[in-house]
Structure formats: structure tokens, C-alpha cells
A and B are shown apart, each in its own frame.
Chain A
Amino acid sequence: MDSASFQFVLFGLAAAIVSNFSRSRVWRSIVLFVVSIVFLGLLSHSPIAFLPLLGFLALGYGALVLLQRGRSRLMAWSILGVILVYIWLKKYTFLPEGAFLHYPYFTLGLSYIFFRVLHLLIGTGDRDEKQRIGLGAYLLYTLNFTTLLSGPIQRYDEFARDQFAAEPIVLGPRTIGLQVERIIRGFFKVSVLAMLFQAFQEDALVQISEPLPLPLKLWAAFRVAVLYPLFLYSNFSGYIDIVIALARLMRVRLPENFDRPFSASSFIDFWNRWHITLSTWLKTYVYNPLLLALMRRISWRRLEPFLGVFCFFVTFFLVGVWHGRTSEFMIFGVLQGGGVAANKLWQLGMARGIGRKSYKVLAKNPIYIAFGRGLTFSWFAFTLFWFWGDWKRIDQVFAALSIAQWLVVWLAIWLCATTVLALWEALRGALLSIKTAAGPVLTSRYVRVVYASALGLAAFVMTVLLNQPAPDIVYKAF
């Protein structure tokens, strides 16, 4: 079953209907457990393929039980053990080939299970009052089919609050309508927008290496860079829309993972809006502890701001590295970390150079924000070359143009993104300003019904016409 296919949506809706047969927490937990196991079974038919995943889950649960029994001294070792087993199972290329298991096994969703297990271990080890999590709750939390493949990374307390509540959260016609609309929106993003952006980028990739006149090559390079972030956003956020809505229909609220990321006016702001649950997780468990530890050890006050820059770099380098096992993702990590660190340095430099107050005024200037938005988009678009390409493909693409020509392309993307995103923000603001007593007209249920119908029709037409499944969810592979 493809992760954002029509079948997946039907499967999730069926699960939601059965789950709502009773409001009892036991019934809803049994349904979620059975549905999650069935979902795993649909993804792989070989029981042996699940053994490594089961081993990983058992390791995590064993460590959790020890920590729950007060063995806090073991926390560091258990975390290290989980990280090493994860790296081994994911076959990171810096480990010797001979060390890996040489049979096909199931790793889908392992990264997200890894985050959830670490969260449980750290949360349990750090608390004075040890939390008690039974095996059933542990498996429900780690294998929940709505968050299994590509997140969002939900905190355990948030999951337990909704899943195990004696009186589950309300699910009336308004909420159902909103979730159906969100599923249609997500499906449209995945099966129409993502499919088109991916196809157009593939066309551009073919064209960039062809013997074409320079203006056509520059245009192809422009499309190669610009279309991938749009594809990735449609692909990933569309899937997240679907699973958030399905979980809500099962009376569980999942955290949001996207907040209009291309509206971000800086790269730091971008990472507050893109894959929010991942960056929040790493900020909580890497950035904060690292910064605190460094500040305890280094007492030179003038260096303090730069410790933040360093911690930003480490955190977002890890964000990048987490995405894949190869050296391309190391570069991707360096570019993410470098981008965030440079952004922080710029903020520090500007605050020092023109004064904190003036910088605050400047940061609110619409033109400054617009250019910042364009720069953020263009930087992210170029860093993604190491996300979607292997070295051979990256070499091929860069060899198609000279350095000066690539600079022209980058400048063009910056300026175009600045203009287009500013126009988009202005249009959105203007439309949302049309209000009635109940709120903006654009978000009223009548308008939502109209555009959900239109998006649904478009998604149906595309699916029928193209006779092919939508591109698979990219983040499923991580």
C-alpha cells in the first residue's frame, strides 16, 4: 500500500469508523493496535523481515523498563545502545559492509520509532517521578500507523492524553467536515501538485544535460532548483495533512509539522516552520542540553553568543545527516547547519553593527522581510541538490553550466522567489481580510466545501488520466 494512496486513505477512514464504535479507551486502543499491525502486514508480507524491527523495539522497551525501575545511571548507556543499533540497522555507509545483516528486512518508519524511543528513554530517565509505561502503551505509541512512516514525531504525553483519556475528545460534524476537507487537501497536494512538480523537475533534469541554447539551459537549471522544494513540500505536507486528519477522526490530535515554511523570512525561522516536530525534537534533546553544557564549561561571556551559533550548527547538521546514510547527506547537513549558523551570525552582527533597536526595526521592514524570504527559499532550494541527487547526478547537473552561470540562476531564483512570495503573502492577507462576524470568509465552511470539491475533482481527474500512483512519500525512506 502506497503511503498516501487512495487505498491508504480508505484504510484510515475504515479504521476511524471502527474506532468510533465505542468511546471506551480500551476499545480505541485495541482498534489502533490491530489496525497498526494490519498496516505493517500490508507493508511487508514476510514475518522474518520484521525481526530486526522487533529487536529494536525490544531493546528500547528493555531500557525503558530499567529506567522506570530507577536505574537512571544506565540512561546514557541505553541511549548510546539505541543510537548504535539504529545506525547499524540503517546501514550507515561509514560502517564496514561486512557488519550489516545481509537479508532484506523492514526499516520503514525506523527513524521515527527511533525518535519516539529516545524521547521515552530521556523523558523517563530525567524525571524524578518515574513514569510507568506498559508494553501495550509502548507498542501503541511506537507503532501507531498514523505516525509510523513519516511522523509527525508526537510526544508521548500528548499521545497518551488523547488516546487513553476516559472521555475522548469530541468528534462532531464540524470536526469531521474539517478533517475530510484536510484529507482532500492532502490528497490533492500529493497526487496533483507533487506529481506535477516532480514530473516538471525530471523534465528539466533531462533538458539541462542536452545540447540546448544557453537561455534554455539557464531556464532548465532554474526549474531544477525551484521545483524540488515545491515537490517536497507538497509531497510531505500533503501526507502529513492526511495522517493528522485520520488521527483526529480517531480522536487523537497529532502535532502540526508545517506552518507555511516558504513564508519564513530567515533560515532559522524556516526551520521553525518546516518539519517542525523534527527540529523541535532536536532543539529539545540536542540544542538545549549542548548549549547548557557548553555554557557551564565556558565562562567567557563574550563567547556566549557564539556558543549558540555553534549549537545551532551542530543541531541542524544532525537534522541534515539524519535524512540519509550517504556522504551527500553529510553535505546536506553541513549546508543546513551552516545556513542556520550564518543566519544567527548575521543577526548578531547586525545587532552589534546597527544596534539592537535599529535591527529590530529593520527586521520588521516588509522589503527586508521579502528579500529574506527569497534568500531563504533560494538557499534551501540549492541545499536540496544534496538531498535528491547522488554525486554522479550532482556533478552532471553542475557541469551543465559554469560557476558564473549558476550564480546568475541563483540570483534569478532569489529575485523571483522574493517577488512571487511577496505577492502570495499580499494576496493571502487581502483575502483573509474579507471577514464576516464569524471570521474570514475564506475559512468559512461554505468556501471550504467549494474548494475541497474543486480539489477533489482535480485529484480524481489526475488519478484517472495519468493512470499511475502519486510519487511515494519521500520521507518514508528516512
Chain B
Amino acid sequence: MTKAIADSTENLHPERLKEPRLPWRDWVLLPMLSLLTLCLILVLSERIAGRTYYSTGNVGRYCMFDDPLMGYRGIPNSVCTEKNPETPLIEYRFNSCGDRAGMECGPKPVGVYRIVLAGSSTAMGYEVSVDRSFAAKLPGELSTLTRRKIEIYNEGLVKGSPQSISLPFNQLPASRPDLILWVLTPLDISSGLRQAIDRKPPNAPGIEAISHLYPERLPERLRAHIREMMASGSISDEIFRLWKSHFISSVTEHFLYESQSLYLKSFLKSSEATFLRVEPDTEWKERLRESDIVARDVEERAQSAGLPWAAVLVPDRAQAAMISMGEWPAGYDPYKLDNELRSIIVSHGGTYIDILPGFRNIPNPEQYYYPVDGHPDAGGHRIIADLLAKALTSGAIPELKAVAQPQAILQKGK
């Protein structure tokens, strides 16, 4: 029967007839056309993306330097502007102590309760203007809630954690703080606190070296990548790096990562999500051990200076989204790092300020972070300021406990 079906219908199909020959020119023309299409799309999209989402300036290159003793510092009395593809043009103004504090350094005014912020780029207010950073918004909110004059002196610096935790202690005679608030992010922990404290090896590329690695002009950039590829021997890695070094990569990622679902799925599969995993790997355990050592060091310094200190974890974009959704895939826990840090900080005598639960009530908090870059934007800083103000005045720091407020003042504060 099978053969009968096959044979009886054999002549009915036009496709059984010989296929017309493909002209010889098409054997060359069609592959060339395909190649040309790919090149045109890549070059044109890169040009358009570069013009629309351009970047300019480099605060790390022009306004910061690598202090052999204290790590990366702002160059005193310098001003830089920087724009990354996702951000507006931002001004970075460093005072005479090299801090982006929004004020001059020096002793605190009489009657003022001064909090010194230490931390990395998030604490510094990287990628937001200084007046829109949480460090600038917090004093007003705290003053309203506590009816005290409160001032925040910001010593946070890009790449500054944990070196910048040393700054308040080194600058004690000048700043005379009442509280040191250490602002931590998951990235600070995962990039290795202790490693950073021990300083990088002399041959590791610094910010300046990195900024020179990929030139701005497309042909030069391609040449640099080909050189790298020849040197490293890994084509796939270099293709990925080549792709990631282009504007079109950032722009595509930016639009894709605006989707909470796509972003979370992608992030959770990446190596950056280790801190969210319930079962940590040995490297992460090492990172936590380093955090423990640094926290002990901070406690010793704080004790000898007679200063109270506190630490707060600012969640990253994926963590904030997961907390807000209230559900996450099995094997992950957005509160895990929060709990681990609390036990480390408290065991060494510090106060842990917990703002993560506050993200439960914020719909889609991931929209307040730059999708590719990952830093909070101005909206994100406003949320952090609100949550920090509530947490700091909840009684965790007795001097900052909120006093009962008439409703009108509370409304005004909001």
C-alpha cells in the first residue's frame, strides 16, 4: 500500500519536476547581499544609537585619582561633567577635601547632628545631580521627623567601598561626625571588600587604563578588538566584548531590560545573581567572610574614636523588583544578603538599618534604576531617602528617633 500511494501520486507534484537553475551570478551576489545587509545594519544602528544615546566625559579619568594610601579619591576642587548613554549630563563637583558632598568640608556647625555617609557610587549619587541624590534629600526629611538640625556630609565615592569607610575615621578631626552611615550595595560585597582594602596589584588596569582600552571611533575600536582577539585567542569572548563595547548593545539592552520579566530572567541566570541564590558558592562565602573582617575593622576604629556606626544595604535592581513582586523563583531569596549583612554588622556592634522590606510597597521599583548601568536614578534616590528616613527615625538610632508630629507637618514633609 505504501509503495502504491507513493507511485500512484508521483507524477502529480510539480515539485518533482527539475528545479530551475540558479543563475551563476546569484552564487556570488546573494552571499554578498547578506554580508552587506549585516554590515549596514550594524554600522547604521551603531551610528544612530551613538548619536542619540551618546556618552561624554569621564569623571573617573579627569576628576579622580588613585591615592596610594586611601584608594580612589576626588581631585580636590575639581569639576567634571559626565553623560552615559542612559543618563542626562551630570555635574560632579568635588570640594577641597575631594568629596562630592554638596558642601565644603570642615567642622560641623554648632547644634547640628552630622551624619557622614561612606560608601561607593550609589552613596556618592553617581549618575544623578547632587541635589537629587538621597544624601541631599535625607537631611530635610530627617530634620522634619526629628525636629533636629541634621546634616549629611557625603564621603561616598565611585569605586569607594570599602576604602571610603576609612575616610570618616581619617578625617575625624575635620568633620567631627555624630554617626557614620555605611551604605552598601550587593556589588560592593561581590566585588570583594577585603580585596579592595588590600589594594589592587600594580599591573591591574586602573580607571584611566580601562578608558583607553576601547577608542571612541568605530574603525579604531574594531582594530583594538582584532588586536585583543589575536592576543587572547578566544574569538567568542572577544566577539561578545566587541558587541558589549558598542552603543547599540547598551541601547538594545536598555530597551529589553525595561521589561521586568526579561530583566529578571536574564539577571538571575548571570553570575552577578550569586548573592540572590539560597545556596551560595564558595566564592560568595569568601566574599561574606571578607565583609565580616571589614566590619570588625570598622567596629574597632569606631570604638577607638567613640563613634556610633550603622550600615544599610541598598538593593540592586533585580532585588528591588523581586521584593516588590513578593514572589521569586525557587532557589533564590532577595532577603538573603540582607539577613547575612544584618548578622555580620550586629555581631560587631554596629546598627543595621533595614530598608529592604520598604520596597514591598513600591510598584515596579526597577523602573527607578538605569536598566543597563544598574544605578538608581533620581526617582530611586527619592525612594531610598524616604525609606532611610523612616528606618533611621524608627528608634534604631536613639538620637534620631522621630517625635510625634502634627498631621500638617507630616503632610508637608511628604
Asked if A and B are interacting partners, one says yes
Using a CB–CB cutoff of 8 Å, the interface residues on chain A facing chain B are: 25, 131-134, 137, 157, 160-167, 169-175, 177, 195-196, 198-200, 202-203, 206-207, 210-212, 253, 445-446, 449-450, 452-454, 457, 461-462, 464-468
* Segment at the interface with A among B13-21, B89-97, B383-391: B13-21
For residue B151, give the distance in angstroms from its CB to the closest CB of chain A.
35
CB–CB A450/B17 < 8 A: no
Among residues 1 to 49 in chain B, which have CB atoms less than 8 Å away from a CB atom of chain A?
A: 1-3, 5-7, 9-10, 13, 15-22, 26, 29-30, 33-35, 37-38, 41-42
Q: For the complex, give the distance between the alpha carbons of A167 and B11 in Å.
A: 10
Q: Which of B22, B35, B41, B266 contacts A467 (CB 8 A)?
A: B266
Is B252 an interface position by the 8 A CB rule? yes
Q: Which of B22, B38, B260, B364 contacts A453 (CB 8 A)?
A: B38
- What does DSSP make chain A's interface, helix, strand, loop or mixed? helix
CB contacts (< 8 Å) of B35 on chain A: these are 453
CB–CB B15/A170 < 8 A: yes
CB–CB B269/A199 < 8 A: no
Which residue of A is nearest B35, CB measured?
Answer: A453
Q: For the complex, give the distance between the alpha carbons of A253 and B13 in Å.
A: 11
CB–CB A166/B269 < 8 A: no
Is B346 an interface position by the 8 A CB rule? no
Is B249 an interface position by the 8 A CB rule? yes
CB–CB A174/B261 < 8 A: no
For residue B241, give the distance in angstroms from its CB to the closest CB of chain A.
12
The size of the chain B interface, using a CB distance under 8 A, is: 44
Known: A164-B3, A175-B19, A454-B37. A461 touches B240 (CB 8 A): no
Q: For the complex, give the distance between the alpha carbons of A195 and B266 in Å.
A: 12
CB–CB B30/A465 < 8 A: no
* Residue with the highest number of chain A CB atoms closer than 10 Å, among B6, B38, B260, B325: B6
Is B86 an interface position by the 8 A CB rule? no
CB–CB A174/B20 < 8 A: yes
Q: For the complex, give the distance between the alpha carbons of A133 and B4 in Å.
A: 11
Q: Which of A169, A199, A202, A203 contacts B13 (CB 8 A)?
A: A169
Q: Which of B243, B259, B266 contacts A468 (CB 8 A)?
A: B266
Q: Which of A172, A212, A453 contacts B37 (CB 8 A)?
A: A453
For residue B116, give the distance in angstroms from its CB to the closest CB of chain A.
37
CB contacts (< 8 Å) of A157 on chain B: these are 5, 9
Number of A-B contacts (CB under 8 A): 127
Which residue of B is nearest A157, CB measured?
Answer: B5
Is B363 an interface position by the 8 A CB rule? yes
CB–CB A468/B6 < 8 A: no
Known: A199-B262, A449-B30. A170 touches B18 (CB 8 A): yes
For residue A438, give the distance in angstroms from its CB to the closest CB of chain B.
11
CB–CB A133/B260 < 8 A: no
Given contacts A161-B10, A165-B6, 4 further A-B contacts (CB under 8 A): A160-B2, A164-B5, A203-B259, A206-B325
Which residue of A is nearest B265, CB measured?
Answer: A468
Q: For the complex, give the distance between the alpha carbons of A446 and B29 in Å.
A: 9
Known: A175-B19, A445-B26, A446-B33. A132 touches B2 (CB 8 A): yes
Is B270 an interface position by the 8 A CB rule? yes
CB–CB A464/B259 < 8 A: no
Q: Which of A137, A171, A453, A466 contacts B262 (CB 8 A)?
A: A466
Which residue of B is nearest A200, CB measured?
Answer: B259
CB contacts (< 8 Å) of A198 on chain B: these are 261
CB contacts (< 8 Å) of A203 on chain B: these are 259-261
CB–CB B34/A449 < 8 A: yes
CB–CB B240/A457 < 8 A: no
Which residue of A is nearest B18, CB measured?
Answer: A170
CB contacts (< 8 Å) of A131 on chain B: these are 1, 5
Q: For the complex, give the distance between the alpha carbons of A177 and B249 in Å.
A: 30
Q: For the complex, give the distance between the alpha carbons of A177 and B21 in Å.
A: 13
For residue A276, give the distance in angstroms from its CB to the closest CB of chain B.
20
Q: Which of A133, A172, A212, A467 contacts B269 (CB 8 A)?
A: A467
Q: For the complex, give the distance between the alpha carbons of A200 and B5 in Å.
A: 48
Which residue of A is nearest B8, CB measured?
Answer: A161
For residue A6, give the distance in angstroms from its CB to the closest CB of chain B.
14
CB–CB B256/A465 < 8 A: yes
For residue A197, give the distance in angstroms from its CB to the closest CB of chain B.
11
Which residue of A is nearest B267, CB measured?
Answer: A467
Q: Which of B5, B18, B19, B21 contacts A161 (CB 8 A)?
A: B5
Q: For the complex, give the distance between the alpha carbons of A387 and B73 in Å.
A: 58
CB–CB A164/B6 < 8 A: yes
Q: Which of A169, A202, A206, A454 contacts B16 (CB 8 A)?
A: A169
CB contacts (< 8 Å) of A446 on chain B: these are 29-30, 33
CB–CB A253/B33 < 8 A: no
Instruction: Mark each residue of chain B from 353 to 390: 1 if its CB lies under 8 Å from any CB of chain A, else 0.
Output: 00000000001100000000000000000000000000
CB–CB B1/A195 < 8 A: no
Q: Which of A137, A166, A170, A211 contacts B17 (CB 8 A)?
A: A170
CB–CB A207/B262 < 8 A: no
Q: For the complex, give the distance between the alpha carbons of A11 and B251 in Å.
A: 33
Q: For the complex, give the distance between the alpha carbons of A212 and B19 in Å.
A: 60
Which residue of A is nearest B262, CB measured?
Answer: A199
CB contacts (< 8 Å) of B2 on chain A: these are 132-134, 137, 160, 164
Is B253 an interface position by the 8 A CB rule? yes
CB–CB A466/B37 < 8 A: no
For residue A263, give the distance in angstroms from its CB to the closest CB of chain B.
26
CB contacts (< 8 Å) of A453 on chain B: these are 33-35, 37-38
Q: Which of A210, A445, A452, A457 contacts B364 (CB 8 A)?
A: A210
CB–CB A211/B363 < 8 A: yes
* Residue with the highest number of chain B CB atoms closer than 10 Å, among A198, A212, A454, A461: A461
CB–CB B6/A166 < 8 A: yes
CB contacts (< 8 Å) of B18 on chain A: these are 170, 172
CB contacts (< 8 Å) of B260 on chain A: these are 202-203, 206
CB–CB B364/A199 < 8 A: no
CB contacts (< 8 Å) of A195 on chain B: these are 262
CB–CB B259/A445 < 8 A: no
CB contacts (< 8 Å) of A210 on chain B: these are 363-364
Q: For the complex, give the distance between the alpha carbons of A360 and B325 in Å.
A: 52
Q: For the complex, give the distance between the alpha carbons of A210 and B363 in Å.
A: 6
Which residue of B is nearest A448, CB measured?
Answer: B30
Q: Which of B1, B7, B249, B253 contacts A133 (CB 8 A)?
A: B1
Q: For the complex, give the distance between the alpha carbons of A462 and B18 in Å.
A: 39
